[in-house]
Amino acid sequence: MRICVILEGCYPYVTGGVSSWMHQYIQAMPQHEFVVWAINSDPSQNGQFRYTLPDNVVEIREISLTGTEGPRAARPARGLRFDETELRAMHDLVECARPDWEVLFRIFQERGITPVDFLSSEYFVDILTDICRTKYPYTAFSDYFHTVRSMLLPLLQVLCADVPKADVYHTIATGYAGVLARLGAWRCQVPFLLTEHGIYTREREEEIIRADWVLPDFKDLWIRFFYMLSSAAYDGATLVTSLFARAGRTQMEIGADPARCRTVANGIHYDRFCDIPVRDQEGPVNIGAILRIAPIKDVKTMLYAFAEVEQHFPDTKLYIAGPEDDPDYARECRELVRQLGIRNAVFMGTINVLDYMGDFDFTVLSSISEGQPLSVLESFAAGRPCVTTDVGCCKELILGEGDDPFGEAGYCVPPMQPHALARAMEDLCRNRARRLQMGRAGRARAEKYFRHEDMIRNYLDTYEEVFRLWQA
């Protein structure tokens, strides 16, 4: 089977998280060929891979969302002609409604119309004028024009993409990747599978609400834009999977058909971690934070919390391990360490977790958004409890759910509350017996429910179901 996996802003350009998951996923299926269709932010990232691609990756395609407007118009823009069906689809696209994606695919794939063709046309201006008059009567037309143009250009480049051939397309998010998956399935007349680690639409919504770069008048428009992209994936996918039940319910709320939704939990290589010995000394505690240094991981809240911990446990050390995906944010975090007078926070950079997990007594994750974090599962497999924020399914991982008999494997606190995070960290610093008890609970939970081989078997079964449904 030839599987095309579609990824945005992760594998193979950055390490950790979904990227590590994808790399191990491909390696675990040597019997299948993989095409990696990778979306990056800028052409300068092309070829800048952080991984050696496995032997069963037979092709890689890269597409950039910025940095180019594509080819100049092949014909004068005034020479464009759209019929009523096409014009309705283009109007819905500009309005961020629910366009007919197959009509759009025909326009940009079969007719060869380029992004510049449309964005330079009278059609585009007429559609904008109509919408602006009815929905933004008190907003400067120039602001609306440039907002919509910047919004649509990356998407139109996606719609013009050269599609690699595959037997099934598997996108690891909605967004632009979801549109590409639907495009590939349409072009090759095959099914596609959507797997979400985090709920992409909700994450973009949170970012836009907080963003300074979005004019207040257009925040709702940008949010509708990403919901429109998610609808392309949810409406077209043969199956939609989530990592845990609560995420699946969110997918259904956004628009996924409940009959096509499945849950496939993450899995880690339990056997690699389970024999790492627990530190047996009573001395100073070492805390590990295994994450990407990026705003979504909210390292700053962790540092504020650790500043409090250090006041009560002055010999405790915090080891922050992971790539600095956002250099500006990483510099701000280092500056915050200086401003808070923190003495024992160490930025380790990218590490092999197996080499260092034995040095940690417990781990911490302070994210404002997560799915089902692998770092927590790996900490559990090594017998280390974890302090997390209540995002994604972290609470379910910490407390267990259903008939899980193992008990608490750490603490779960509200996000962006450094005092609550500090209290939980201090409790584990203070109480070694509790650390050991919670570590045993986490190890048992990981062994029973979150093994990598079980996850791979479940995805192989899901591919079979995708083909059965497609052929029915």
Q: Do the strands 386-389 and 410-413 form a parallel or antiparallel pair, or are they unpaired?
A: parallel
Tell me: do 286 and 368 sit in the same domain: yes
Residues 60 and 106 both lie in one domain: no
Q: Please tell me the distance from the alpha carbon of residue 364 to that of residue 317, in angstroms, as a whole number.
A: 12
Q: Are 126 and 46 within one domain?
A: no
Q: What is the CATH number of the domain that holds 282?
A: 3.40.50.2000
Based on the fold, state whether residues 170 and 233 are members of the same structural domain: yes
User: Do residue 289 and residue 376 come from a single domain?
Assistant: yes
The pLDDT value given to residue 73 = 45
Those residues whose C-beta lies under 8 Å from the C-beta of residue 395, and which sit 6 or more positions away, are 388, 412
Is the distance from CB of 196 to CB of 173 less than 8 angstroms? yes
Specify the pLDDT at position 71: 47
Q: Is residue 201 part of a domain?
A: yes
Segments of the chain scoring below 50 in pLDDT: 70-77
Tokens read off for 77? 């823009």
Structural domain total, the chain: 3
| Residue ending a domain, choose from 200, 234, 263 | 263
Residue 75 · residue 170 · CB < 8 Å: no
Q: Which two tokens stand for residue 156?
A: 């139109």
Do both 372 and 227 map to the same domain? no
In a domain, 456, yes or no: no
Q: Kindly state whether residues 336 and 439 are assigned to the same domain.
A: yes
Measured CA distances, 4 to 28, 90, 196, 242, 456 (Å): 15, 28, 16, 19, 16
DSSP 336-380: HHHHHT-SSEEEEES--HHHHGGG-SEEEE--SS-SS-HHHHHHH
Residue 68 is predicted with a pLDDT of 55
Q: Is 330 helix (H, G, I), strand (E, B) or coil?
A: helix
Residues 320 and 254 in one domain: no
**What backbone torsions phi and psi does residue 471 show, to the nearest 5 degrees?**
-85, -15
Separation CA 95–CA 72 (nearest Å): 25
> Which H or E run includes 263?
strand 261-263
pLDDT 10s digits, 212-249: 889 899 999 999 999 999 999 999 999 999 999 999 99
- Give residue 343's domain range: 272-449
C-alpha 367/C-alpha 365 separation (Å) is 6
Q: State the Cα–Cα distance between residues 17 and 268, nearest whole angstrom.
A: 12
Same domain for 84 and 122: yes
Which residue type sits at 455? M
Are 325 and 437 within one domain? yes
Tell me whether residue 175 is exposed, middle or buried, using C-beta atoms within 10 angstroms of its C-beta: 0 to 12, 13 to 18, 19 or more. buried
Task: Indicate if 330 and 442 belong to the same structural domain.
Answer: yes
